[in-house]
């Protein structure tokens, strides 16, 4: 059994090759550029870990991990166009550096290359892995569309937001784990428990991310604290505040949202405190984290084998008491 860090180190070395033909360079250089600007490679390592939970790592897990990482980068290239983002990981985005048309095509060909990589695995794995991969790919597109739709909506229900987060973020983590489980020879029940572990963990992670955006330590949190507040982003916190605030508190929240006062972040943080949105968010995070761990416990393999996933989950999402 290997830790996340050990597998990450191995995958990063494995993945650090040229993935595209030389010509036409105008198409493939953008792809190579984007793959070299980094990324946490969490998803392919989840595939490796899902595999090793049940069995020694199958050589096909490296192909599936590669396909998953290429797919993830395809979504980032296209999402960056949609979000008109000039930077990712501190580097220029593909559309910003090479133009939007090339970014559309570079993303397209990145997706096709993911399928090429999948086609290298043993034939008896091809059908189930493709089925899961396709289903997940569609869901990720659906999540992105919902996210864009929400931006234009006045209010979003908590249930709708959770569904969007599941589709846009969680299912890719969950499916990465499940592909590993398939390659490790897990039965259907164990596969689905591992999938649900990843799905719930993904939601807990997003709750934490939304929380840290509002209340994080500016020295530790990677992004600007209060960024979501300034952008009126419909996060777990804002959605719950809009659902629970009443009277003058509600009026003040709406006033803050309608304007961009210099003390907006501070004021909205204060409203969040008064609505106890912060306590609620921590409870919600714990709820999803607990559910995730319950799914992991239910998987029928020796407890010892689960330790790397447990550690990773604790690393990604801190439990707050």
- Residues in touch with its own copies (CB under 8 A): 23-24, 26-27, 74, 78, 81-82, 101-102, 104-105, 107-109, 111-113, 115-116, 119, 123, 126-127, 130-131, 134, 137-138, 141-142, 144-146, 148-149
Q: By C-beta, is 87 or 112 nearer to its own copies? A: 112
Q: How far is the CB of 293 from its own copies (least distance, A)?
A: 31
Other Cβ atoms within 10 Å of 29 Cβ, number: 17
189: left (phi over 0), alpha (psi -120 to 50) or beta: alpha
Q: How far is the CB of 196 from its own copies (least distance, A)?
A: 22
Q: Which residues of 144-164 are buried (b: 16+ CB within 10 A; e: fewer)?
A: bebbeebeeeeebeeebbbeb
d(CA 239, CA 237): 6
Q: By C-beta, is 175 or 313 nearer to its own copies? A: 175
Q: By C-beta, is 105 or 301 nearer to its own copies? A: 105
d(CA 12, CA 29): 20
Q: Which residues pair with 244 in a beta bridge?
A: none
Q: By C-beta, is 127 or 220 nearer to its own copies? A: 127
Q: How far is the CB of 110 from its own copies (least distance, A)?
A: 10
Q: How far is the CB of 194 from its own copies (least distance, A)?
A: 22
Q: By C-beta, is 109 or 225 nearer to its own copies? A: 109
- Geometric angle at alpha carbon 280, from 276 and 284, rounded to 5°: 170
Q: How far is the CB of 77 from its own copies (least distance, A)?
A: 10
Q: How far is the CB of 73 from its own copies (least distance, A)?
A: 13
Q: By C-beta, is 78 or 192 nearer to its own copies? A: 78
Q: By C-beta, is 146 or 204 nearer to its own copies? A: 146
Q: Which residues pair with 92 in a beta bridge?
A: 87
d(CA 1, CA 90): 34
Instruction: Copy the structure tokens of residue 163.
Output: 């569904």
C-alpha pair distances (Å), 220 with each of 210, 223, 270? 15, 9, 21
Instruction: Copy the structure tokens of residue 302.
Output: 């020796």
Q: How far is the CB of 25 from its own copies (least distance, A)?
A: 10
């Amino acid at each position: 059994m290997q830790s996340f860090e050990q597998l990450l180190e191995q995958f990063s070395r494995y993945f650090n090759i040229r993935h595209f033909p030389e010509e036409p360079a105008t198409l493939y250089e953008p792809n190579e550029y984007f793959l070299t600007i980094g990324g946490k490679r969490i998803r392919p390592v989840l595939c490796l870990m899902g595999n090793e939970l049940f069995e020694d790592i199958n050589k096909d897990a490296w192909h599936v991990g590669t396909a998953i990482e290429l797919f993830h980068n395809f979504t980032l290239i296209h999402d960056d166009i949609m979000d008109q983002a000039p930077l990712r990981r501190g580097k220029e985005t593909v559309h910003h550096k090479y133009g939007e048309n090339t970014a559309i095509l570079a993303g397209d060909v990145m997706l096709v290359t993911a399928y090429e990589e999948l086609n290298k695995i043993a034939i008896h794995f091809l059908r189930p892995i493709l089925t899961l991969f396709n289903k997940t790919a569609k869901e990720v597109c659906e999540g992105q569309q919902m996210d864009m739709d929400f931006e234009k909506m006045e209010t979003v229900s908590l249930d709708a937001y959770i569904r969007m987060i599941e589709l846009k973020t969680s299912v890719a983590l969950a499916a990465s784990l499940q592909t590993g489980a398939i390659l490790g020879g897990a039965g259907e029940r164990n596969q689905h428990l591992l999938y649900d572990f990843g799905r719930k963990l993904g939601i807990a992670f997003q709750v934490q991310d939304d929380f840290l955006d509002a209340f994080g330590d500016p020295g530790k949190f990677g992004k600007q604290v209060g960024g979501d507040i300034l952008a009126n982003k419909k996060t777990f916190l804002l959605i719950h505040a809009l659902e629970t605030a009443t009277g003058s508190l509600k009026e003040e929240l709406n006033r803050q949202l309608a304007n961009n006062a210099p003390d907006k972040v501070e004021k909205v943080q204060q409203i969040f405190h008064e609505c106890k949105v912060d306590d609620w968010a921590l409870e919600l995070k714990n709820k999803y984290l607990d559910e995730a761990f319950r799914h992991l416990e239910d998987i029928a393999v020796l407890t010892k084998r689960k330790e790397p996933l447990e550690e990773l989950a604790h690393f990604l999402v801190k439990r707050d008491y």
